[in-house]
Structure 1
Amino acid sequence: MTLLALVFFVLMLLGLPIAFAIGMAGFSFFVTNELMPVSIGVQQVATASQSFPLLAVPFFVLAGHMMNRTGITHRLIACSSVLVSWMAGGLAQVSIVLSTLMGGVSGSAVADAAMEARILGPGLIARGYSKGFTSAVIAISSLITATIPPSLGLILYGFVGNVSIGRLFLAGVVPGLLMMAVLMATVWAIARRRGYGAESAERPTLRAVGRAVADAKWALLFPVALLFAIRGGVFTPSEVGAFAVVYAGVVGFLLHRELSWAGMMEALGEAVVDTGMIMLIILFSGMVGYAIVFEQAPQSIAAAMAGLTREPLLVVAMILVFLFLAGLFVESTVLVLLLTPIFLPIVTPLGVDPVHFGILMMTIVTFGSMTPPVGVAMYTVCSLLDCPVEDYVVEALPFVAAVLALIVVLTLWPGLVLFLPNALM
């Protein structure tokens, strides 16, 4: 295991793509282990692909790319603007609400951050918001996508940990809405102090809200339809992915009439590239996962933690601190695939609900995408808005503190996370 970890981190530092770094690290374990034929490693790569729940990944990726071409984005922006532009820091508030609504469409934090940086970023800067503040709001609000269904991270966690994806989707709704509220409160406090005004002088009328919601109804109904389809037993999570593609096609071609055949081909091409990248990571992670189990890493780590404490809350806290530090250096998808088989067997015997732990884990590892030194969402937004990273870091500190405080609350009160899945499933 030491050689495997060493090879992985050395290859990462050398700039090798993550999927190949995982594959070569896993392969090194089987080459150097006399008790383990190399053919077993090859079999594990093939075995990792033989999973019905994995079908949800390419379907949801394709649905997200199709949705971005159906005219849904500008309808959601209009809806968000009507709802919150009257508040202090109006356009920044719009960005946060839009992240919440887009989380139910794209399922990807980086995609959401890039879209908002292109569309809302220049407008925020033109209205006097600093580049650092603008970048921090857009990047960190994309964290909401980590829990709002259909989160790709939750699908992968459910696949690796054998946890109900339907329950995970339901459990992510309340934390996602709480994240929105916490970030909006942070923006409000900063905007009041700096004099970032509202975009609209008056609060919207019920008629204006109703009109905006009606115009964006097909986007707003999408995550609701997914949850009810899973809860009602109409579709499995994998089948819901196929339904999402059909839904995006119907909305794009027939209802909004903004999805062209050329746009459909572009979405398909982008989805193939994204799916290929994700699936390579998943397949090569099969070797590493087998090595982790063979070396009894979960048992060793559990024994080490038991020597420190048997208190479930403290064990979860230690794991979350480790995940936060790991997320600063490694992409969230990789952490979910590699660390779920280690930590889930540790916390489950202690009475920690795997759904609760999944929401905490997905939030904290995705948070790494918004923080240095290797935050993908952070670099994406800063490059698009030409913002120095040091300015971003300074402006992001209040938002980082707010997010960490919310994670502490969600850890201490599992009922906030488990309320919906326990009530509906």
Structure 2
Amino acid sequence: SALIGAVWIDLPIDAVMIQIASGVNKFSLLAIPFFVLAGAIMAEGGMSRRLVAFAGVLVGFVRGGLSLVNILASTFFGAISGSSVADTASIGSVMIPEMARKGYPRDFATALTVSGSIQATLIPPSHNAVIYSMAAGGSISIAALFMAGVLPGLLLGGTLAAYCLLIAKKRNFPKGEAMPMRQALKIAGEAMWGLMTMVIILGGILSGVFTATESASIAVLWAFFVTMFIYRDYKWRDLPKLMHRTVKTVSIVMILIGFAAAFGYIMTLMQIPTKITAALTNFTSDKVVILLCINVLLLILGTLMDMAALLLILTPILLPVVTAVGVDPVHFGMI
């Protein structure tokens, strides 16, 4: 779309290439590969399995407890990895077979895992917060976006938990058993090493010890230390394969970001955001109505496109619209 737009307005292709290069030449984007790597290390190093076990200690004893364990484990892992894809792969590989074995419908277990992983798109350290900040030109604080995502993410998890309790009662899902105190303390002790990642990231950002971008590298170092020297589930020989997989994932995101930067530049030259802002404000100046319309648009496009692509394409177009009617850019980022 960026190249087509460039041809349409007779923009030289080398200008597009310059915008692509400048789009990925940002210090804040270092957070993405580091958080992806941290999530991969945690998933492969046994951290997700221990988080699931700890969630089982906390909520696994109630009726439908495994569904609550699924949600709580997704909350924990999302607050560590920042990736809904990593969350789904890590938690799903453990919880879906276990829930099916205990009598839960497999389609319910799968849908619950996918829905619970959405918390990772909101709860810090969310990759999508970094992408949104970059799509907005880097003017929006990533730390502010991280903090703004805490309450919506927890609210989403709480809503899913309430739904699961209702479904468990209606369908008479199995009830778990309370765990002996000695075993529960052992599981909690092992999981605390992983949960410390959340404390380090959020505590470091809020205290000003390091920036949101620097927190990603700290997360990698901590994940590497825990999985290699505490859990010892990961071996040195596994690192090349892990790095290769991380590079493949990050390269896709970076290509999207680069071309989205060029697309946003072309949209600005064509005055598309200005025209859309004028059209919507002529239709209504009520910011609630405008936000509802945008939510409907996102709902429709979300069935067709990946979230990263949506953020990169729509943010340069819609952000001027909502700021014109008084919506805070951080609030819009959460939407």
TM-score range, shorter-chain basis?
over 0.9
Q: Deviations over 1:48-76 (max 9, x none)?
A: 12211111111111111111132211210
- C-alpha deviation, 1:211, in angstroms: 4.5
**Which residue is 1:104 aligned to?**
79
Classify 1:207/1:173 alpha carbon distance in 2 versus 1 (closer, same or farther; 3 Å): farther
In 1, Cα distance between equivalents of 2:8 and 2:326: 37
**Which residue is 2:4 aligned to?**
28
Q: Deviations over 1:297-350 (max 9, x none)?
A: 111111111122111111111111111111110110000111111111211232
Do residues 62 (structure 1) and 47 (structure 2) align? Answer: no
Q: Deviations over 1:137-156 (max 9, x none)?
A: 11111111111111111111
Measured on the aligned residues, the alpha-carbon RMSD in Å equals: 1.7
Do residues 295 (structure 1) and 307 (structure 2) align? Answer: no
In 2, Cα distance between equivalents of 1:145 and 1:212: 23
- C-alpha deviation, 1:47, in angstroms: 1.2
Do residues 118 (structure 1) and 90 (structure 2) align? Answer: no
Q: Give the 5 Å matches for 1:250-399.
A: 250-360=225-335
In 2, Cα distance between equivalents of 1:313 and 1:103: 30
Classify 1:286/1:181 alpha carbon distance in 2 versus 1 (closer, same or farther; 3 Å): same
Tell me if structure 2 keeps the 8 A contact 1:82–1:208. Answer: no
Which of 170, 188, 191 is residue 168 of structure 2 equivalent to? 191
Q: Deviations over 1:109-164 (max 9, x none)?
A: 12221223321111211222112212211111111111111111111112222211
**Which residue is 1:180 aligned to?**
157
Classify 1:235/1:87 alpha carbon distance in 2 versus 1 (closer, same or farther; 3 Å): same
Q: Hey, which bits of structure 1, 4+ residues long, moved more than 4 A? A: 204-211
Q: Deviations over 1:372-399 (max 9, x none)?
A: xxxxxxxxxxxxxxxxxxxxxxxxxxxx
**Which residue is 2:140 aligned to?**
163
Gaps of 5+ in 1: 1-24, 361-425
Tell me if structure 1 keeps the 8 A contact 2:88–2:117. Answer: yes
- More displaced 10-residue stretch of structure 1: 334-343 or 25-34: 25-34
In 2, Cα distance between equivalents of 1:117 and 1:300: 44
In 2, Cα distance between equivalents of 1:223 and 1:314: 36
Letter of the 1:285 partner, please give it.
A
**Which residue is 2:119 aligned to?**
144
In 2, Cα distance between equivalents of 1:158 and 1:210: 40
Tell me if structure 2 keeps the 8 A contact 1:86–1:198. Answer: yes
In 2, Cα distance between equivalents of 1:310 and 1:237: 35
Could you state the TM-score of these two structures normalised by the residue count of structure 1? 0.75
In 2, Cα distance between equivalents of 1:280 and 1:355: 25
Tell me if structure 1 keeps the 8 A contact 2:135–2:260. Answer: no
**Which residue is 1:86 aligned to?**
61
- C-alpha deviation, 1:208, in angstroms: 6.5
Helix, strand or coil: the match of 1:68? helix
Tell me if structure 1 keeps the 8 A contact 2:143–2:212. Answer: yes
Could you state the TM-score of these two structures normalised by the residue count of structure 2? 0.94
In 2, Cα distance between equivalents of 1:122 and 1:254: 29
- C-alpha deviation, 1:205, in angstroms: 7.9
Q: Deviations over 1:162-221 (max 9, x none)?
A: 211111111111111111110011011011011102122x4x688766554332112112
**Which residue is 1:416 aligned to?**
none
Letter of the 1:127 partner, please give it.
K
Helix, strand or coil: the match of 1:216? helix
In 2, Cα distance between equivalents of 1:295 and 1:88: 57
- More displaced 10-residue stretch of structure 1: 346-355 or 88-97: 346-355
Helix, strand or coil: the match of 1:196? coil
Q: Deviations over 1:363-419 (max 9, x none)?
A: xxxxxxxxxxxxxxxxxxxxxxxxxxxxxxxxxxxxxxxxxxxxxxxxxxxxxxxxx
- C-alpha deviation, 1:295, in angstroms: 1.3
Classify 1:267/1:215 alpha carbon distance in 2 versus 1 (closer, same or farther; 3 Å): same
Classify 1:104/1:263 alpha carbon distance in 2 versus 1 (closer, same or farther; 3 Å): farther
